[in-house]
Every structure is written in C-alpha cells, then in structure tokens.
Amino acid sequence: MFFGKKKWDPRGKHCYVTGGSAGLGLGLAVLLAKRGAHVSIVARNQERLDKAMLELEAARQSPDQIIKAYSYSVDQAKEAEAALEAVCGAHGGRSPDALFLCAGKSRPGFFVEQTEESMQMCMQETYWAQAWSALAASKRMVRDGVKGKIVFVASVLGYFSIVGYSPYSPGKFAIRGLAEALQSEFVLYDIGIHICFPGTILSPGYVEENKVKPKITLKIEESDTGLNPEVIAGHLLRGVEKGQFHITYDFIGNVFRASTRGSSPGNNSLLDQVYSMIGAIALPIWRKDVDKQVRAHADEHHQHLASQGLLVSSGASK
C-alpha cells in the first residue's frame, strides 16, 4: 500500500480541482463535496463555473465547507500560479491538501495535417495544463510542509497509441513520465502521487473531440463505448483513497496498466499477473488487427490527402 493501511479521507481536506466546471473535473468536485471536503474548482469559462457552483452547493454537506470557483487558464504557467495563489487566499495562504488535475482537451488528427501551432496547442492542453499546476503547488506544499497529494489525469492513450492520436498521446505519455519521476522524488516530502488512465469519458469534451477525429480512428476505437464522468470520478477517488499509484478501472485500463508496468509501483497482486498474461497474448493480436485496418484505409486516406493538396502528383519517387 502506498501510505500504509489507512485509507485517505477527503473530509475536511482542501481539494483543488482544475477543469472543475465540466466533465471528469466536475464529477470529482461534486463527489468530494459530498464527502465533506473543501473544494476549489478552476476553469476558464465563468458561465460554466457558475453552473457548476449550483451543483456543488447542492452537494454540500456542512456549512463549514469552503466551496469556491475561480476563472483562470491553467495551461499558462503564470495563470496556473495565480490561480493557486487566489485559491489559497481563502485558506489562510495554506497550500491545498490535494490537487486533481483534470484540465485538458483532445484534438485528434493526422500527423501530416498538423502545424507548429496545433502541435503546441495540443501539448498545452494535454501536458502543460497539468504540469504548471503541479509545479506551482509542489513548491507551496513543500514550503508549507503539507504532506498532500497530486492526482494527474492521463488516458489509456498514455499507455498505447493508434492512428490519429499523434497530437494527443505525446502529452499523455509525458504526464506519465512526470508522475513516474515525482512518485520517486516526492518520497522526499511524503507527498503522494497518483495518476489515472481513463478510457473514453462521455463528457462535453468528448463531443468536441469527435468532431475532428479521423474516421479510421473512430472505427478502431468503437468498442470502447465509454462511461459517464460521475462514474469515472468514483473510480478515481476510490483509487486515491486506497493509495494506488496508477489508477485504472476497466478491463482495457487494467490490461494496459499491468502490461506496461515496468518499475512503476503497483499492487503486486495475482490479478495483475493475470492481466499481464492476458495482455501478452491478446495485445499483439489486437495490434496486428489495428495495423490491418489502417492498411486497408490507405487508399481512401491518400484520396483525402490529395483533396487537401498535401500530395504532389509529380515526383512520386521511391
């Protein structure tokens, strides 16, 4: 177990949730409020924050809970710091006890259609949107001696990747890389690190994502029907309470978690051995099938590229 046998309890703790006005972040914030935590949510859009506050107030258990919303763009370093400063203001300047870093979005697409701007925007939304808050909060937690927690949100696409996700997976893999380093390093401060790997989240963000997603990508992932944010929030919080480092909650997540574990602390359970063996057998088969689907799509794809003017008809040399 990560922190000994005692479960972590959100009651009375100050929980800081980025991306807290919708989707997974809102689901988590509501759940934490129901558990008696102080909750600060941060997001960009004031309107959505106001709506979210109505839900949070409905979930309030006690008048002592400090529940607030703040409008900041945490994908920028200085705003992430300013957000934290503002949030701590309502708590006597003290660092939050737990961060839930849910801010982010996904914009899939073919690699050859990306630009410098789109690649950077995607890294902002998948990596920096969490890293800046983690940096600002870590400094405060260490300075204030708060033995807190930081919960990163990656994706199963931080365990593997497929066609269409070259703008998305690098940042989600990077979140894992950061969490792996911090899990080791923050033993120095008794600060707990957790990272959740959700599959499809049936959120407003997912609707936006699918507007730009390549058809071949949609086809390959169609078996992942997804779960509602509230359900995933429940799994995530349970994982944090139990002290798990990598948090997964469905078959795909568990198989990938066990199959890509390397030296990441886990629960060394027999069940994970089984997941690992399933992965060793099933994943190569699945992967060959994915490659086959992509190959079958090649002609249609080249027609698509030609229509975008990305191919020249002359000079096609080998």
Exposed / middle / buried, residue 148 (Cβ in 10 Å: 0-12, 13-18, 19+): buried
CB of 9 to a second copy, least distance (A): 14
Q: DSSP class of residue 273?
A: H
H-type alpha helices, 166-269: 169-185, 204-212, 215-220, 229-241, 251-259
Distance separating alpha carbons of residues 290 and 212, to the nearest angstrom: 20
Is residue 124 close enough to count as binding a second copy by CB under 8 A? Answer: no
Nearer to a second copy (CB atom), residue 11 or residue 302: 302
For the record, the structure tokens of 274 come out as 């089984």
The owner of tokens 């949070």 is: 56
Among 14-22, 57-65, 195-203, 261-269, the segment contacting a second copy (CB under 8 A): 261-269
Looking at the annotation, which residues are catalytic? 168, 172
Identity of the residue numbered 23: G
Identify residues 167-226 at the interface with a second copy (CB under 8 A). Answer: 168-178, 180-182, 184-189
Distance separating alpha carbons of residues 78 and 58, to the nearest angstrom: 32
Is residue 138 close enough to count as binding a second copy by CB under 8 A? Answer: yes
Distance separating alpha carbons of residues 144 and 146, to the nearest angstrom: 5
Among 9-17, 48-56, 152-160, 196-204, the segment contacting a second copy (CB under 8 A): 152-160
The 10 Å Cβ neighbour count of residue 270 is: 8
Task: Determine which residue in the list 9, 58, 85, 93 makes contact with a second copy, applying CB under 8 A.
Answer: 93
CB of 162 to a second copy, least distance (A): 5
Q: Which of 104, 287, 278 is nearest to 196 (CA)?
A: 104
Nearer to a second copy (CB atom), residue 16 or residue 165: 165
Is residue 263 close enough to count as binding a second copy by CB under 8 A? Answer: yes
Q: Which of 74, 95, 97 is nearest to 85 (CA)?
A: 95
Q: How many residues bind a second copy (CB under 8 A)?
A: 87
Identify residues 276-295 at the interface with a second copy (CB under 8 A). Answer: 276, 279-280, 283-284, 286-287, 290-291, 294-295
Identify residues 12-31 at the interface with a second copy (CB under 8 A). Answer: none
Q: Which of 174, 139, 137 is nearest to 154 (CA)?
A: 174
Among 14-22, 53-61, 203-211, 303-311, the segment contacting a second copy (CB under 8 A): 303-311
Nearer to a second copy (CB atom), residue 100 or residue 152: 152
Among 20-28, 54-62, 229-237, 263-271, the segment contacting a second copy (CB under 8 A): 263-271
